Amino acid sequence: MAMHQPQPDLPPPVAERGALKWLRENLFSTWYNSVLTIVVGYWLLSTLIPLIDWAFISAVFSGDGPEACAPGAACWVFVQQRLGFFIYGFYPDELWWRPNLVFALFALAVVPQFLPIAAAIRKWLAIFGLTGLPVAAYFLIAGGHFGLESVDTSRWGGLMLTLILAYVGIIAALPIGTLLALGRRSEMPIIRGICVVFIEFWRAVPLITILFMASVMLPLFLPEGVTFDKLLRALVGITLFQSAYMAEVVRGGLQAIPKGQYEAAEALGLGYWRRMRLIILPQALKIVIPGIANTIISLFKDTTLVLIIGLFDLLGAVKSTLSDPAWDNVMAEGYLFVAFCFWVFCFGMSRYSHRLEKNLDTGHRS
């Protein structure tokens, strides 16, 4: 008995499968798409190939000095030779272990947040990162206690300074911004007025005017003889500036919470602070995670402005070495190095915020 054996299906036509299909659908779907693909593709190839050649293939990565470099190729020797200064600024060489230890603690608190580890451990590490780490970092880097040699803030610099400014700014700006947002939504008219004026003022003026005031004019407003450390003042300026932005982001979240949530919380008999802390803020902050992340990223980028008031952050440290006549035209290398450092941090933070948003999404969004 002969069973009916169906012929295997014919494969789809060549143009409808695999790479060809993908190409046709994604690059050459219409005539103008084809033209666009060819133009953009040609432009990309003609810029990227020489760039990659300059930056990687012909580039010199290590050597002892400017002599090691070749013309027409990137001279990463410059970065390699000055890396110590770029990372630590004027911080004494023999004490580099102290910032290094802080970096290690920082990594310990932050890296596990991206790894699949038990949530409880991650939570405790995060709490350590927000509370214990800044304190430990201060004692380690500034010294002056526990037998550690004191290092003046004018010697702090480089990437270390950038990270300090950014980290302290981030930790302080979120709570201050939240308080301001609550104040702006408050039912008490005077409190609301104060918060509105405060927020609008800081949002309207450029950060460098604020830094200028903080760095050279502040003593004029204070009683004679009262001064603060220059770094601290820059830090306060950046933090207040960004907390005003943070306040507006958080306010957006507060406004998005349905009125029923406020009323239900009140009906439970909770006091104002408990209502906010237990019911409203957890929901509001979750909604605005992307906004918070953006504010944090712009705070991180804004730390570069301290170079205008004479602090040597990463950009300032690199820029100050670029005028060295011994190195002929290493500007592009220097700036690209700084750009790469900032890009890694900022891009990493924005990816993390996407992940956080997804993880915390409970599907209650309307």
Partner 1 sequence: MKKTIMTVGLATAGLVALGGQAQAATLDDVRDAGQLRCGVSTGLPGFSQPDSDGNWTGIDVDTCRAVAAAVLGDAEAVEFVPLTAAERFTALQSGEIDMLSRNTTWTTTRDASLGLNFTGTNYYDGQGFLIDEALGIDSAEQLDGAAVCVQAGTTTELNLADYFRANDMEFEAVVVDSSEASAQAFDNNRCDVLTSDTSQLAALRTQLSDPDGAVILPEVISKEPLGPVVRQGDDEWFNVVKWVLFGQINAEEYGISSANVDEMLESDNPNVARILGTEGNMGEILGLDDDFMVDVLTQIGNYGEMFERNVGPNTPIGLSRGVNELWTEGGILYAPPFR
Partner 2 sequence: MESDGTPLRPGRPKPWNDPRVRAVVFQIIAALTVAWVGWTLFQNTISNMESRGISTGFGFLNSTAGFGIIMSLIEYDETMTYGRTFLVGLANTVLVSGLGILLATVVGFVMGVARLSSNWLVRKVALAYIEIFRNIPLLLQIFFWYFAVLGTLPGPRQAVNVGDVAFLSNRGIVLPKPIFEPGAWLIGAGLAAGLVVTFFMARWARRRQAATGEIFPVLPIGTVLILGLPLLGYLIQGGPVSWDIPALGGFNFRGGITAIPELGALLLALTLYTASFIAEIVRSGIESVSKGQTEAALALGLPPRRVLRLIIIPQAMRVIIPPLTSQYLNLTKNSSLAVAIGYPDLVNVFMGTTLNQTGQAVEIVAMTMAVYLSISLFISLLMNLYNRAVALKER
Residues at the interface with partner 2 (CB under 8 A): 26-27, 29, 33, 36-37, 40-41, 44, 187-191, 194, 200-201, 203-209, 212-213, 216-217, 219-224, 297, 301-302, 304-305, 307-308, 315, 319, 322, 329, 331-332, 335, 338-339, 342-343, 346-347, 350
* Residue with token string 């789809």: 12
- Of 60, 82, 293, the closest CA to residue 170 belongs to 293
For 193, residues 6+ apart whose C-beta sits below 8 A from its C-beta are: none
* Residue with token string 């470099």: 69
Residues that bind partner 1 (CB under 8 A): 85, 90, 92, 152, 154-155, 212, 215-220, 222-227, 230, 273, 309-310, 320, 323, 325, 328
Q: Where are the beta strands (DSSP E) in 142-199?
A: none
Between residues 116 and 189, which has the closer beta carbon with respect to partner 2?
Answer: 189
CA 110 to chain centre: 13
Between residues 155 and 192, which has the closer beta carbon with respect to partner 1?
Answer: 155
Name the minimum Å distance from CB 225 to partner 2. 10
Token pair in block for residue 332: 């592009």
The CA-based diameter of the chain, rounded to the nearest angstrom, is 111
Token pair in block for residue 249: 């982001």
Between residues 269 and 325, which has the closer beta carbon with respect to partner 1?
Answer: 325
Name the minimum Å distance from CB 191 to partner 2. 6
Which of the listed partners (partner 1, partner 2, none) does 275 bind, with a CB threshold of 5 to 8 Å by partner kind? none
- Of 135, 140, 164, the closest CA to residue 151 belongs to 140
Which of the listed partners (partner 1, partner 2, none) does 227 bind, with a CB threshold of 5 to 8 Å by partner kind? partner 1
CA 113 to chain centre: 16
Between residues 36 and 117, which has the closer beta carbon with respect to partner 2?
Answer: 36
Between residues 133 and 291, which has the closer beta carbon with respect to partner 2?
Answer: 291
Which of the listed partners (partner 1, partner 2, none) does 204 bind, with a CB threshold of 5 to 8 Å by partner kind? partner 2
What is the spatial distance between Cα 23 and Cα 55, in angstroms, rounded to a whole number? Answer: 30
Name the minimum Å distance from CB 297 to partner 2. 7
C-alpha R_g of the chain: 27
